[in-house]
Chains A and B, each alone.
Chain A
Amino acid sequence: MTDVLLELGKNPLARKLVASAKLPIPMPQGLVRLQGARTERFLEGKNVLVSGVSPLTDVLSRSLSRAGATSHVDSAALAQAFVPAAEAYGRPTKLLIPDEAAEAEPAHALILDTSSFASPEDLKQLYTFINKYLPRLSRNGRIVLLGREPEEASTLGEGAARQALDGFTRSLAKELGGKGTTANLVYIASDAKERLPAVLRFLLSPASAFVTAQPFHVSARAGWNDEDPWHQPLQNRVALVTGAARGIGEATARTLAAEGALVVCLDRPEDDEPLSQVTREIGGKAILCDVSDPTAGAYIASELHKLHGGVDIVVHNAGVTRDRTLARMPERSWDQVLGINLAALIKITDALLAEGTLRDQGRIISLASISGIAGNTGQTNYAASKAGVIGFTRYLANQVAKRGITVNAVAPGFIETRMTAAVPVVVREAGRRLSALGQGGQPEDVARAITFFAEPGSAGVTGQVLRVCGGALLGA
């Protein structure tokens, strides 16, 4: 279903008219999305404004310079800290001159490193830096706050200041969503700074277009072999995507393949035709199987062994809805939803772990849902299954961390799919507009988030649920 307002908003004249007439029509900003594979220097020619010196600076400066950004920093000390990376990649750092804030060339991103914040007074820097340089931020811009884990705080003031970042980021995301700009927060454990680059790449690139107002936690919980390729990160990795015949599953299979993965697409035997179409186009392999079949786990494990000798990335995407209020829900609807969305996922995972099919440094990514976080009328079964997926994710992450396997979940908000196209127009409009970005997401947006978790460099992120919701108000 076309989003008429979004299409209208792409027309500058229409934007102007609506604005000048002060019409109460939302004009969502069209989002810039990634086409095909990510490139190494995705920030080539872009300006990034940075504030805050900390032990993270070397990782941050290396990531920005390697990505091709020109960094503008607000202190001489920070400029000094940026020198090595700037020199190695030939990206001279520039010192921000406060008075030229408004007239200077536009910036793609503002990055504030709050690692040194020790008390609520330090929070003033959030105001000072962002208030001053916000006018320079272009549409579809990025704001990224870096901070230390509140749990690691050593004083009361530190703990409070660190947690304060969360409310700040969420509010800022809501304020800037109309410009297509996102604001996200990354908490980095003190022993995990080398794992920051993959998260930065995701947040600063168009891959995260529909991710806003989210906190990320980077830790050293999962084992890691230091591998972090920037180009074609999934080369030689085998990925299994369930429910790959259409929608988010199909988009995920395509995106994983674009980043180099050998993708094994799985769907029900009756979806043979669309599945083989996808498989053919991405040069992948297909497994036809009903995930809720009691023998599915063993079958999938043996097929993966036969095809590629194992698997590195498992995307649990297959899922169904059977919406009815609980009072009117047939038992079958309950059984189907819980069976396919949750029980099958556990059985398949068990089989892949028991048979040694999932290799070390593996990645498990499951589809949760905003419903599983916020609840939704008519979805007791679905919400229970998706909340169960979150429980599965958190529990399993601890179990397999030693093997370097990460387990994460993605919770899509309103995504433009066949499923959402079928809902009544009023509900659909509400789903689209009740979010910071004022529009629905695309299946590709969810696929990009999944692909981010699938990267070898994303070893710092595990046991987490990432909302890909455009800053939806629901359950936030």
Chain B
Amino acid sequence: MSTQGSKRRAVIVGGMRTPFAKAFTELKELDTIALGAAATSALLRKLELPHKEIDSVVWGGVVLPPLSVNIGREIVLDLGLPTSIEAMTVTRACASGLQAITTAASAIERGDADVVIAGGSDSTSNAPITFPTKVTRTLAPLALSGKATPQDIFGALAQLVPLSEVLPRQPRVAERTTGEVMGESAERMAQRNEISRQAQDELALRSHQRAARAIATGVFDDEVAKIETPNGFVHVDTLVRADTSLDKLSRLKPVFAKAGTITAGNATALTDGAAAVVLMSEEKARALGYTPLAALRSWSYVAVDPADQLLIGPAIAVPRALAKAGYELSDIDVIDMHEAFAAQVLSVLKMLDSQAFAEERLGRSKPVGAVDIDKMNIYGGSVAIGHPFAATGARMATTMAYELARSNKSTALLGICAAGGLGAAAVLERV
């Protein structure tokens, strides 16, 4: 809900993230808890926040560690923070990071908390390999009873044929209800919304160029922490390619359909990373001597049928969040739109600017508006920087909060699509 009309306002005081790295590379030794702990401790060090002031941790996760799903609490314990800091973990697919932030903001607005750490992390490198249910049901009783004879074991093993039914399944980013891999959904969206390969490659190129420039000019210095791993330090995002070109991108082969348009170059890669922000009530922030970076003005979560256009949600969430904030798109100074796939972002942008979509799907007489490319993803987006699922929302909120604090811009818009047909949007404003 919007903060309008309520007295307490939730503000972002600071944000920090790990560098983002391609799965199974630099950060592979750190699981999602370790990544979350790294981002959180770096943030606390930067803010010099007295630990006793922290009320709670709200953490987002998508690929959850099976034996300790409450990542937030594990971070508190691993960092040796006061054990009295309560914690929870939220999951809303790729919008989990934003969900953690808005859940924290709600608690602050309600007066339930004054200081909350919110963020998210994911380590695809440490995704648990799951066995099919048949294997679990057959072997678990043996493993757990502790009294199995060799005959029992062989009897159980005999049930595990054919082999194809019992081998671990490769984890896939697939919809449970439709069985469709997300890239296939995005490919269909490209076709249905008539998004060309070239437009996708151009968006990808811009994402890389802008991210590379942001890194080179130190824009991320405030936001990205140097992380220590067993194999050494990682201090910069590893997926960004300063040297890519339209020519290079256009030579990549489509991945999800023979005559398709989606390539490894215009889609996000599986990524490891974490991001965290500290939210406070405005009064508490000032009382502790902090200058708030930005305030949470409004947010909106929506859903569409995943069998239709899986990732179109932001086209509906954005106007709702804007309406709650009392803004039009033209009132927004800077936009961070999660780039799951270039095709998906371009589909969303096309619908935001469509008169027909506005009338038919939003019940508005006018389109939401054309997004000015010069205002959107000015420091690159997920295609270039990477997308550790639950970290993305907190990464975007961090970048936008610092942008509002250091520039003369006063409003920022976030848009995120997520599995299950979910869409999310939020509006930040300068304090």
Contact between B361 and A88 (Cβ–Cβ < 8 Å)?
Answer: yes
**Nearest-CB residue, chain B, relative to A61:** B356
Tell me which residues across on chain B come within 8 A of A254, comparing CB atoms. none
Contact with B along A80-100 (1 / 0, CB 8 A): 000111011111100000000
Instruction: Please give the number of chain B residues whose Cβ is less than 8 angstroms from any Cβ of chain A in the complex.
Output: 20
Asked if B360 is at the interface (CB within 8 A of a chain A CB), the reply is: yes
CA distance A84 to B360 in the complex (A): 9
Contact between B354 and A87 (Cβ–Cβ < 8 Å)?
Answer: yes
Asked if B194 is at the interface (CB within 8 A of a chain A CB), the reply is: yes
Contact between B308 and A87 (Cβ–Cβ < 8 Å)?
Answer: no
- Interface size, A (range): 10 to 19
The B337-387 residues at the A interface (CB cut-off 8 A) are 347, 350-351, 354-357, 359-361
CA distance A92 to B189 in the complex (A): 11
Asked if A40 is at the interface (CB within 8 A of a chain B CB), the reply is: yes
Asked if A394 is at the interface (CB within 8 A of a chain B CB), the reply is: no
Contact between A90 and B359 (Cβ–Cβ < 8 Å)?
Answer: no
Tell me which residues across on chain B come within 8 A of A89, comparing CB atoms. 360-361
CA distance A62 to B357 in the complex (A): 11
Asked if A88 meets B354 with Cβ closer than 8 Å, knowing A40-B305, A41-B308, the reply is yes
Contact between B192 and A92 (Cβ–Cβ < 8 Å)?
Answer: yes
Tell me which residues across on chain B come within 8 A of A87, comparing CB atoms. 350, 354, 356-357
Contact between B189 and A85 (Cβ–Cβ < 8 Å)?
Answer: no
Asked if B309 is at the interface (CB within 8 A of a chain A CB), the reply is: yes
Choose one: B189, B191, B194, B355; the contact of A84 (CB below 8 Å). B355
Contact between A88 and B357 (Cβ–Cβ < 8 Å)?
Answer: yes
Asked if B193 is at the interface (CB within 8 A of a chain A CB), the reply is: yes
Tell me which residues across on chain A come within 8 A of B354, comparing CB atoms. 87-88
Contact between B192 and A85 (Cβ–Cβ < 8 Å)?
Answer: no
Choose one: B189, B194, B305, B360; the contact of A88 (CB below 8 Å). B360
Contact between A88 and B308 (Cβ–Cβ < 8 Å)?
Answer: no
CA distance A122 to B355 in the complex (A): 34
CA distance A40 to B361 in the complex (A): 14
How close is A61's CB to chain B, nearest CB, in angstroms?
10
**Nearest-CB residue, chain A, relative to B189:** A90
Contact between B193 and A88 (Cβ–Cβ < 8 Å)?
Answer: no
Contact between B356 and A88 (Cβ–Cβ < 8 Å)?
Answer: yes
**Nearest-CB residue, chain A, relative to B362:** A88
Tell me which residues across on chain B come within 8 A of A90, comparing CB atoms. 189, 192-193, 309, 312, 347
Tell me which residues across on chain A come within 8 A of B307, comparing CB atoms. 41, 44
Contact between B360 and A91 (Cβ–Cβ < 8 Å)?
Answer: no
Tell me which residues across on chain B come within 8 A of A66, comparing CB atoms. 360
Tell me which residues across on chain A come within 8 A of B360, comparing CB atoms. 62, 66, 84-85, 88-89
The A281-307 residues at the B interface (CB cut-off 8 A) are none
Tell me which residues across on chain A come within 8 A of B357, comparing CB atoms. 87-88
Tell me which residues across on chain A come within 8 A of B193, comparing CB atoms. 90
**Nearest-CB residue, chain A, relative to B188:** A90
Asked if A84 meets B192 with Cβ closer than 8 Å, knowing A40-B305, A41-B308, A90-B309, the reply is no
Asked if A91 meets B192 with Cβ closer than 8 Å, knowing A40-B305, A41-B308, the reply is yes
Tell me which residues across on chain A come within 8 A of B305, comparing CB atoms. 40-41
CA distance A463 to B341 in the complex (A): 53
Tell me which residues across on chain A come within 8 A of B191, comparing CB atoms. 92
CA distance A46 to B129 in the complex (A): 39
Tell me which residues across on chain A come within 8 A of B192, comparing CB atoms. 90-92
Tell me which residues across on chain A come within 8 A of B308, comparing CB atoms. 41, 68
Contact between B309 and A88 (Cβ–Cβ < 8 Å)?
Answer: no
The B49-67 residues at the A interface (CB cut-off 8 A) are none
CA distance A299 to B194 in the complex (A): 60
Contact with A along B30-45 (1 / 0, CB 8 A): 0000000000000000
CA distance A89 to B351 in the complex (A): 9
CA distance A92 to B356 in the complex (A): 13
Tell me which residues across on chain B come within 8 A of A68, comparing CB atoms. 308
**Nearest-CB residue, chain B, relative to A83:** B356
How close is A126's CB to chain B, nearest CB, in angstroms?
31
**Nearest-CB residue, chain B, relative to A66:** B360
CA distance A68 to B191 in the complex (A): 14
Contact with A along B125-152 (1 / 0, CB 8 A): 0000000000000000000000000000
Tell me which residues across on chain A come within 8 A of B312, comparing CB atoms. 90
Tell which of B189, B308, B350, B361 has the most Cβ of chain A within 10 Å: B308
The A43-98 residues at the B interface (CB cut-off 8 A) are 44, 62, 66, 68, 83-85, 87-92
The B172-224 residues at the A interface (CB cut-off 8 A) are 189, 191-194
**Nearest-CB residue, chain A, relative to B358:** A88
Tell me which residues across on chain B come within 8 A of A88, comparing CB atoms. 351, 354, 356-357, 359-361
Tell me which residues across on chain B come within 8 A of A83, comparing CB atoms. 356
Contact with A along B158-180 (1 / 0, CB 8 A): 00000000000000000000000
Contact between A84 and B347 (Cβ–Cβ < 8 Å)?
Answer: no
How close is A226's CB to chain B, nearest CB, in angstroms?
12
CA distance A470 to B354 in the complex (A): 43
Tell me which residues across on chain B come within 8 A of A92, comparing CB atoms. 191-192, 194
**Nearest-CB residue, chain A, relative to B192:** A90
How close is A38's CB to chain B, nearest CB, in angstroms?
14
How close is A66's CB to chain B, nearest CB, in angstroms?
8
CA distance A91 to B356 in the complex (A): 12
Tell me which residues across on chain B come within 8 A of A40, comparing CB atoms. 305
CA distance A313 to B307 in the complex (A): 32
How close is B312's CB to chain A, nearest CB, in angstroms?
8
CA distance A129 to B357 in the complex (A): 31
Contact with A along B305-318 (1 / 0, CB 8 A): 10111001000000
How close is A336's CB to chain B, nearest CB, in angstroms?
51
Further 16 A-B residue pairs, CB within 8 A, beyond A40-B305, A44-B307, A68-B308:
A41-B308, A83-B356, A84-B355, A84-B356, A84-B360, A85-B356, A87-B356, A88-B356, A88-B359, A88-B360, A89-B361, A90-B193, A90-B309, A90-B312, A91-B192, A92-B192
Supply 19 A–B pairs (Cβ within 8 Å), ascending by A: A41-B305, A41-B308, A62-B360, A68-B308, A83-B356, A84-B355, A84-B356, A87-B350, A88-B351, A88-B354, A88-B356, A88-B359, A88-B361, A89-B360, A90-B192, A90-B193, A90-B312, A92-B191, A92-B192
Question: Measuring CB to CB, which residues of chain B are less than 8 angstroms from any residue of chain A?
Answer: 189, 191-194, 305, 307-309, 312, 347, 350-351, 354-357, 359-361
Pairs of residues from A and B, 10 with the lowest C-beta to C-beta distance, nearest first: A84-B356, A90-B192, A88-B360, A88-B356, A88-B357, A87-B356, A90-B193, A87-B354, A92-B194, A90-B309
